[in-house]
Amino acid sequence: MSDFKEFFSKNAQEYSKSKSHSKGSDLAALMDMLQLTSEMHCLDMATGTGFTAIELARRCGRVAAIDATEKMLSEAVKNATKAGYTGMEFIEGVVESTRLESGSFDVVTCRRAAHHFHDKGAFLREVMRVLKPGGKLGLVDMAVPEEDNSDLLNRIERIRDPSHVGAEKISTWNQLASVAGFKIIEIRETQEEYSLEEWMAPVSTNGEAFAKVKEALGAATEDDLSGAGVSSDREKIVKHRMIMLAEKPS
pLDDT, position 20: 53
Q: What is the pTM of this model?
A: 0.90
Kindly state whether residue 212 falls inside one of the protein's structural domains: no
Number of domains into which the chain is organized: 1
Q: Assign residue 71 the CATH number of its domain.
A: 3.40.50.150
Q: Do the domain assignments include residue 204?
A: no
Q: Considering only CA atoms, which of 136, 156, 94, 141 is closest in space to residue 119?
A: 94
Q: What's the CA gap between 15 and 8, in Å, rounded?
A: 8
Angle in degrees, 0-180, between the axes of helices 3-16 and 70-83, rounded to the nearest 10: 20
Question: Is residue 155 in a domain?
Answer: no
Give the integer Cα–Cα distance in Å for 29 and 26: 5
The one-digit pLDDT tens for each residue of the chain (250 residues) are 345 565 554 544 555 444 555 567 899 999 999 999 999 999 999 999 999 999 999 999 999 999 998 988 999 999 999 999 989 999 999 999 999 999 999 999 999 999 999 999 999 999 999 999 999 999 999 999 999 999 999 999 999 988 899 999 999 999 999 999 999 999 999 999 999 999 998 888 999 999 999 999 999 999 999 999 999 999 999 999 999 999 999 9
CA–CA distance, 234 with 220 (Å, rounded to integer): 9
Any domain includes 198:
no
Say if 199 falls within a structural domain: no
Provide the pLDDT for residue 202.
Answer: 83
Which letter does DSSP use for residue 97 in this model? B
User: Does a structural domain hold residue 81?
Assistant: yes
Within a domain: 36: yes
Residue 183 domain-assigned?
Answer: yes
**Positions of E strands within the chain:** 41-45, 62-67, 89-92, 105-111, 131-143, 183-195, 236-247
Q: Which domain holds residue 77?
A: 3-144+163-193+239-247
